[in-house]
Chains A and B, each alone.
Chain A
Amino acid sequence: MRPIRFLFLAAASLFLAGQLAAATRPRYGGTLHIETRARLALLDPAKLPAVPGQLALANQLLFLTGDRLVRFDSSGHLSPSLALHWRAAPGYRDWTFDLRPGVKFQDGKPMLAGDVVAALTPLHPLWHLRAVGLQLTILLPQPEPDLLLQLALPENSILRIGPNGLPIGTGPFRITRFTDNRITLVANNTAWQGRPFLNGVVIRMGRASREQWIDLELGRADLVQIPPDRVHRAHESHVRVWTSQPNQLVALVFDRRSSAAANASVRQALAGAVDRSALRDVLLQKQGEVARAILPSWLTGYSFLFTPSPGPATPAVPAPAADASLPKLSLAYDASDSLLASFAARIAVDARAVGLRLQLQPQPPAAVVTAPADVRLVRQPIESLDPAGALQQIVSALGLRGVVTLPASATPDRLYAAEKALLATHWLIPLVDLPEIYGLGSRVKDWMPSPVPLAGGWRLAQVWKEPE
């Protein structure tokens, strides 16, 4: 080859390489447009919503706007955040934290230990918090070996409420506007972790799945929620899909006040009738996992020990013989949740195969818990990274306190026994574990959220957006 051509080729190669390098390099700027189905009215760590969708969004906002004393790193280990060091006295009741110096709130005010006390006290009235300079002492009413797990949760974000009622934290983004259908966040230029790449984030709330999908396709949205039954279509459309670890349990919960539900045969019959595989394979399009236990496998690691759920609800299924005296049952569920609606319809079909008649009662989201129904179909988010704490929360949230005695300590064997005992009563019938599924616009780069949303959320601080 002649030298000039070689030089030209070399120059062209270098130019192209440079262009490619430029294309993968994070850039500052841009606004990330996110759309969600849930709608939040306010953000207050002390008043987190109970509706799973709203709670998930609230947690994401807490991760965006605030920091915790500790956090999970990308490998899932607890690492310092607002607290640099910590130590626990023997007995795990007395904890001391050394706070990170130089941290400022988004309004420029320095963060002190007193701010941490002020933030955590409403959330934990029984804790005795004391601040001295940048040192925080927490005296617990009972031993908490896994206090750090708890402190890493978004509900323990260190926030103040500003004069305009909006929360002020130390996180990478600050809420500048909060309306009934839109939340606007701007980058925190003084974030102690560094300014995020994005200039801002706009979250449009209350968007239906179809609208989100259209906006994603049209480029009006960068991050949308994708229902499980559309994942296949998203793949066909070459949309990037990200799925988290299952962090929601979909389950049937019998009302202990119901006389019909008091019949153990009824509960057992329904537990054996539901075809979980059909729910997961068809209605969820193989997204999520069949729930063998109450807690997901990634949290406990022992769910495989539980008996696999029965096969399809056909006459071949060895379900309990249908008792002619089995009563009708009313099944309540969130009418606004199309997934639960399809689950309920399928469960009713499966129940009919064993002689049970389910009367479906769609309810407004806030009325599902209080509606007079024999059984409820619910989504129960995993609200703790501590298995024992998660089990406690699920049992408490689903009104199952006292059904079994939950262990005070979190040893796996005792936890397993407690779960097994609870499942044997059939007051709670786990069905599937649901993940969060998002579709990403093609311009969204470095999307690396926490696989367990509760452990870190979207992590938008490192996300950047390719210019058009």
Chain B
Amino acid sequence: MRLRLKLFLISAALVAVSVVAVAWSVSAITRRAFERVERTHTDALVAQFEEEYTRRGEGVSERVAAIKGTESVLRMVVDLSRPGGDASLYVNEATPLAASHQLDFLDLLSGNGTIISSASWPARFGYKEDWALSAPTGQPFLHLWPLPNGKAVALTAVGVVTLRGKKFYIVGGQRLDKQFLASLALPRGMHALLYLNTTPAFSPGNLLSPSSSIVHAERLASLVDQVRHQKRPVTTTIDWTADPTSAETFYTLPLSGPRGHLLAVLLLGNSRRDLVLLVRYIRLTALAVGAASVLLGLALSWWAAARVARPVLELAGGARQVAAGRWDTRVDVSSRDEVGELARSFNRMTAQLVEQRERLLQAERVAAWRELARRLAHELKNPLFPLQITVENLQRARQSSPEQFDEVFRESTGTLLAELANLKTILDRFGDFAKMPAPERQPLDLNELVRGVVRLFEAQFTAPGRAPIRAELSLDAELEPIQADPHLLRRAVENLVLNALDAMPRGGTLTLATARRDGLAELRVSDTGSGLTPEERDRLFTPYYTTKQHGTGLGLAVVQSIVSDHGGQISVESAPDRGTTFRVLLPAGGREAGRGTAAEGGRNA
């Protein structure tokens, strides 16, 4: 990944993280603030409900007390407290009393709980309501009233009239209904529901709302069941639809009778619409700000990265130039920071490299001249010494044995001519190496060339006086023709084969293989000789370097020169006692393999 892109991504990430963190913080703070307000509203509403509940309960108690003092009740009590009193005369007494005192329920009971008259269920006269005998008197409480078609929950109060030792109970109640809920002043976004626990299982029909009917009331089933089970307040959030703005947080207040039975549940719902919309708004704003920030950050980071990366890029480019061989590369960075210091150090380094390369080149030249001189001296000394001996023999023969001088002269001149021919050969070789011609490329079948070279040296593989050498060919039949000079390339292959034969004085296997590698033509020449040491391997291609007793040391240097002139590459793999493999890569179809020599140690061909 490029430096500029890295810097951009880092700055963009920083901006995005900052924006997200701010947005999250704002959202969290807003949510907590909403919840605090919601809690405040809920508490206020609960307090209002409890106040209204208490007020209504007191109202019921007052009405019951008032009914106790009515003429009709007193007449009934007087009549029924006498022996033989006929309760049937008062079977319809409760209904008008309830209506006149705005009570939804009114039962007149005898001392043993027998219903004398019932306003809500007149047909129940004669049946007993034992619970009233032990109910708290004077204090309102919640009670479940049986009705012909179900049950109802009502705020209830019990009054007692005693006459002549006989008790009569006045039980009155006001229904908890929609009107009760409607009396609550609800803040905006809040609404109140009342669930009447009159059936064993949750029933949507038991849910009261002061306004219209409740849609999807069954979604409150689990909440109500929780309260029914736990008998304590529960708070939860209900999602009415898939739209998050429809969510409502419900706070529940269980309402129980005097014996602890849960008779009703008050549900106070607070819409989360405003909160959801606000959070959504915050997020959208954060998204917009974040996007703008990212774009701004992109521009800024791009500019900053450019300012930061440019000198680094120049340094990187300079390093590439140096790696490509242009050691005289200089980087133009004028800043005074660390990057500028680095650039100046780079420039100093390349200047030193150039200087050292010059020195090295010069030293190499000198070394090469010295080597050449040494080699020349060594090569020339060999033929020159016999020349000197031969001339001295002629001088001695002329002086000491004139009768043998003709024979000595013939032998000596023969020797002189031979050595002179040898000198010429040596000089020709040097000359050839010095004036190596440029290759004349033409389509060449490398496999055929290899076969030709092998045929040429077949006789030598099994020459008498030497250990036999077995030649193996592994030629890629699919290898396409390459563009090469057949003469030069043949010469290179011959030199490699000669080198391999020289490396196997005790016989072995010579392997020639061709293949296509990454679009290049590969030629491998392997022997099973004694191999090379790492030092020998490193100097193998140095002109005039040889490990043999005889030889100019130019064979492999010629091979290298020919391969290099063809745009190829030669490398050697060898280790002591593991043979040697020369690997030549030549471009196929004009593509260059890359110049240079690679000496790979430790690997067999």
Interchain CB contact under 8 A, A282 and B126: yes
Contact with A345, one of B88, B89, B122 (Cβ below 8 angstroms): B122
Cβ of B122 and Cβ of A342 under 8 Å apart?
A: yes
- Indicate which residue in A229, A232, A285, A342 contacts B123 across the interface (CB closer than 8 Å): A342
CB distance from B107 to the nearest CB of A (A): 14
Q: Contact partner of A285 among B88, B121, B127, CB < 8 A?
A: B88
* Smallest CB gap from B127: residue in A: A349
B89-139 residues with Cβ-Cβ distance < 8 A to A are 89, 91-92, 121-127
A360 partner residues in chain B, CB cutoff 8 A:
148
Query: Is A283 a contact partner of B148 (Cβ separation < 8 A)?
Result: no
Question: Closest approach, in angstroms, between the C-beta of B149 and any C-beta of chain A?
Answer: 9
Which residues of B sit under 8 angstroms from A286, Cβ to Cβ? 88
A275 touches B126 (CB 8 A): yes
A346 to B125, CA, bound (A): 8
Nearest CB in chain B: distance from A199 CB, A: 40
Whether the Cβ atoms of B123 and A348 lie closer than 8 Å is yes
Q: How many chain B residues have a CB neighbour from A under 8 Å?
A: 12
Q: Do residues B123 and A345 form an inter-chain contact, with CB atoms below 8 A?
A: yes
In B424-468, the 8 Å CB interface with A consists of: none
A312: interface (CB < 8 Å): yes
Q: Which residues of B contact A281 (CB under 8 A)?
A: 88
Q: How far is the CB of B116 from chain A (nearest CB, A)?
A: 10
**Which residues from 218 to 262 on chain B have a C-beta closer than 8 Å to any C-beta of chain A?**
none
**Complex Cα gap A454–B148 (Å):** 38
Q: Say yes or no for A278: interface residue by CB 8 A criterion.
A: yes
Chain B, residue nearest A343 (CB): B123
A345 to B124, CA, bound (A): 9
Is the CB–CB distance between A349 and B123 below 8 Å? yes
Minimum CB–CB distance for B226 against chain A, Å: 31
Chain B hits for A278, CB < 8 A: 125-126
Q: Smallest CB–CB gap between A283 and chain B, Å? A: 7
Q: In A53-86, which residues have CB < 8 Å from any B CB? A: none
Please state if A229 and B126 are interface contacts (CB–CB under 8 Å): no
Neighbouring A residues of B123 by C-beta, 8 Å? 342, 345-346, 348-349
Which residues of chain A from 337 to 372 have a CB within 8 Å of any chain B CB? 342, 345-346, 348-349, 353, 360
Nearest-Cβ distance from residue B603 to partner chain A, whole angstroms: 96
What chain A residues lie within 8 Å of B125 (beta carbons)? 278, 282, 346
* Closest chain A residue, CB of each to CB of B125: A282
From B88, B91, B92, B124, contact of A349 by CB (8 A): B124
Q: Chain A at the B interface: mostly helix, strand, loop or mixed?
A: helix
What chain A residues lie within 8 Å of B91 (beta carbons)? 229, 282-283
Q: Mark A230-244, 1 if CB is under 8 A from B, else 0.
A: 001000000000000
Q: Answer whether A229 and B92 are a contact pair too, CB < 8 Å, given A345-B148, A348-B148.
A: yes
Q: Which residue of A lies closest to B90 (CB)?
A: A282
Tell me, rounded to whole Å, the shortest Cβ–Cβ distance linking A459 to chain B: 32
How far apart sit A348 and B88, CA to CA, in the bound complex (Å)? 19
Q: Which residues of B contact A283 (CB under 8 A)?
A: 91
Q: Which of A229, A232, A349 has the largest count of B CB atoms less than 10 A from its CB?
A: A349
Shortest Cβ distance from residue A125 to the other chain B in the assembled complex, whole angstroms: 46
CB of B120 to closest CB in A, whole Å:
12
B127 touching A232 by the CB < 8 A rule?
no
Interface residues of B in 474-494 (CB under 8 A from A): none
Name which residue of chain B comes closest to A230, CB basis.
B92
Chain A 214-271 interface residues, beta-carbon cutoff 8 Å to B: 229, 232
Interface-central residue, B88, B92, B121, B148, by most chain A CB under 10 Å: B88
Task: Tell me which residues from 76 to 92 in chain B have a Cβ below 8 Å from any Cβ of chain A.
Answer: 88-89, 91-92
Asked if residues B88 and A282 are in contact (CB atoms below 8 Å), the reply is: yes
Q: Chain B: which residue is nearest A353 at the CB level?
A: B127
Closest A-chain residue to B89, C-beta based? A232
Is the beta-carbon distance between B92 and A312 smaller than 8 angstroms? no
**Chain B residues, Cβ within 8 Å of A353:** 127
- A353→B126 CA distance, assembly (Å): 12
A314 to B126 CA separation, bound complex (whole angstroms): 9
Chain A residues with Cβ below 8 Å from B92 are 229
Q: Which residues of A contact B88 (CB under 8 A)?
A: 281-282, 285-286
Give complex CA distance A252, B127 in Å.
Answer: 22
Which residue on B lies nearest to A278, using beta carbons?
B126
> Taking CB as reference atom, which chain A residue is nearest B128?
A314
| Residue interface mask A278-316, B partner, CB < 8 A = 1 | 100111011000000000000000000000000010100
Question: CA of A46 to CA of B124 in the docked complex: distance in angstroms?
Answer: 43
Q: How far is the CA of A312 from the CA of B124 in the complex (A)?
A: 12
What distance in Å separates the Cβ of B91 from its nearest Cβ neighbour in chain A? 5
The answer to whether B126 and A312 touch across the interface, beta carbons within 8 angstroms, is yes
Nearest-Cβ distance from residue A100 to partner chain B, whole angstroms = 50
Interface mask (A4-45 → B, CB under 8 Å = 1, otherwise 0) = 000000000000000000000000000000000000000000
**Shortest distance between the CB of B122 and any CB in chain A (Å):** 7
A229, closest chain B residue (CB): B92
* B89-A285 in contact (CB<8A): yes
- Given the complex of chains A and B, what is the CA–CA distance between A312 and B88 in angstroms? 14
Q: Which residue of A lies closest to B116 (CB)?
A: A282
Contacts of A349 in B (CB 8 A): 121, 123-124, 127, 148
Q: Which residues on the B side are within 8 Å of A282 (C-beta)?
A: 88, 91, 125-126
- Collect the chain B residues with CB atoms within 8 Å of residue A345's CB: 121-123, 148
B579 nearest CB across to chain A (Å): 104
How far, in Å, is A314 (CB) from chain B's closest CB? 8
Bound-state CA distance A323–B122 (Å) is 27
What is the distance, in angstroms, from A108's C-beta to the closest C-beta of chain B? 53
CA distance A345 to B88 in the complex (A): 16
Name B53-95 residues within 8 Å CB distance of A. Answer: 88-89, 91-92
Given the complex, which residues of B lie within 8 Å of A314, measured CB to CB?
127
Residues 489-528 of B contacting A (Cβ, < 8 Å)? none
Q: How far is the CB of A346 from chain B (nearest CB, A)?
A: 4
Residue in chain A with minimal CB distance to B91? A282
CA of A345 to CA of B95, assembled, Å: 15
B388: min CB distance to chain A, Å? 144
Q: Which of B91, B124, B126 has the most CB of A within 10 A?
A: B126
Complex alpha-carbon distance, A286 and B87, angstroms: 12
Distance in angstroms between the alpha carbons of A232 and B127 in the assembled complex: 23
What residues of B have a CB within 8 angstroms of the CB of A346 in the complex? 123, 125
Q: Given the complex of chains A and B, what is the CA–CA distance between A346 and B121 in angstroms? A: 9
Provide the residues of chain B in CB contact with A348, threshold 8 Å. Answer: 123, 148
Task: Give the Cβ gap from B287 to chain A, nearest Cβ, in Å.
Answer: 61
Closest Cβ–Cβ distance, residue B276 to chain A (whole Å)? 47
- Closest chain-B Cβ to A226's Cβ sits at a distance in Å of 15
Q: Which residue of B lies closest to A286 (CB)?
A: B88
Tell me the chain B residues, 3-50 only, with Cβ under 8 Å from chain A.
none
Pick from B92, B123, B125, B148 the residue with the most CB of A within 10 Å.
Answer: B123
> CA A342 – CA B95 in complex, angstroms?
14
- The CA of A366 and the CA of B559, in the complex, are separated in Å by 130
Nearest Cβ on chain B to A286's Cβ, whole angstroms: 7
Report the minimum CB–CB distance from A342 to chain B (whole Å): 7
In the bound complex, CA of A345 to CA of B126 (Å):
13
Assembled-state Cα–Cα distance A360/B126 (Å):
21
With a cutoff of 8 Å between Cβ atoms, the chain A residues found around residue B121 in the complex are 345, 349
Contacts of B127 in A (CB 8 A): 314, 349, 353
With both beta carbons as reference points, the residue of chain B lying nearest to A236 in the complex is identified as B89
Bound-complex Cα distance A423 to B125 (A): 28
Interface membership of chain A positions 94-122, coded 1 if the CB is closer than 8 angstroms to chain B and 0 otherwise: 00000000000000000000000000000
Residues in B neighbouring A312, C-beta threshold 8 A: 126
Measured CA separation A342–B148 after assembly (Å): 12
Closest 9 CB pairs of A and B: A345-B123, A346-B123, A282-B88, A349-B123, A282-B91, A281-B88, A278-B126, A349-B124, A282-B125
Could you write out 19 A-B pairs with CB less than 8 Å apart? A229-B91, A232-B89, A278-B126, A282-B88, A282-B91, A282-B125, A282-B126, A285-B89, A286-B88, A312-B126, A314-B127, A342-B122, A345-B121, A345-B123, A345-B148, A346-B125, A349-B124, A349-B127, A360-B148
Known pairs A282-B125, A283-B91, A349-B148. 12 more at Cβ < 8 A? A229-B91, A229-B92, A232-B89, A275-B126, A278-B125, A281-B88, A286-B88, A345-B121, A345-B148, A346-B125, A349-B121, A349-B127
